[in-house]
Amino acid sequence: MGSYAVFLRGINVGGINIKMADLREALTGCGFADAKTLLASGNVVLTSSRDARAVKRECEDCLRAAFGYEAWVVVLDASRVAALVDACPWPADDKSTHTYITLSSDTKVLDHLDAAGAALEGNQQQRLAPEALAWLAPAGGTLDSPFSKLSAKAKFKSATTTRNLRTLIKVRDAAAALEASGGQR
C-alpha cells in the first residue's frame, strides 16, 4: 500500500468550484477510502495499492464523473513530495518573496516550461527533479509575475499545477501521517 499526494489543477478558480467535503466524498466513493483533503485548493492525500499512474487515471475519471469538468491531477508518491521539499533551495517563508513549485505529470511539458522560464529576464527558478520546478515570485505580486503568466498558458494546463512551498510542506506532513497510520482515518 502506497501513500500518495494528489494535486488537482484549476479548482476553485475559473468557475470550477468544489467543496473539499464533496471532493473527499467523491474520492471515497471511487475506492479511496482514506482520502483526506487539505486546504481549499485541491490537495489530497490517500493510500492505494495501485501505482501513481493508475491513481492519476482513476482520480481524473472520478472527478470528471462526479463534477462534470475536464479534470487533471498530478500524483506523487509521499516520499517524492518529501524529497522535493528537501531539494528546494529557497525558504518557505520570506517577507519579500514566495517560493512556488510547479509539478508536472509530463516531464516534456515541464522541460518546455523550464526553458521558457529560463529565458525570462530576472526570473529565478531551479529544476528540482524531472517533475518539479521551483521558482520565486515577489510577495504580493505572484499572479503578475512573468513566470506565473507563462505557466498559466493553455499549453501547460493539462500537465502542470503549482503550489507554494508552505502548502507542499503541509501535504508532505499529512501524507507522512497517513502512511504512518497505515491508511486509517
111-132, pLDDT tens digit by residue? 999 999 999 999 999 999 999 9
Q: Residue holding cell 509521499?
A: 78
Nearest Cα residue to 103 out of 131, 76, 122: 131
SS3 for 163-174 is EEHHHHHHHHHH
Place of cell 503549482: 162
> Measuring CA to CA, which residue among 46, 44, 43, 42 is closest to residue 17?
42
Give me the pLDDT at residue 181, please.
84
* Averaged confidence pLDDT in the chain: 92
Q: Using alpha carbons only, how large is the chain's radius of gyration in Å?
A: 16
DSSP structural state of residue 89? -
- For residue 41, is pLDDT > 90? no
For residue 1, name the pLDDT band (cuts at 50, 70, 90): confident
**What are 95-111's pLDDT values in tens digits?**
999 999 999 999 999 99
Domains of the chain (ranges plus CATH)? 2-78+169-178 (3.30.70.1280), 82-164 (3.30.70)
Distance CA 82, CA 172 (A): 6
Residue with cell 481549499: 40
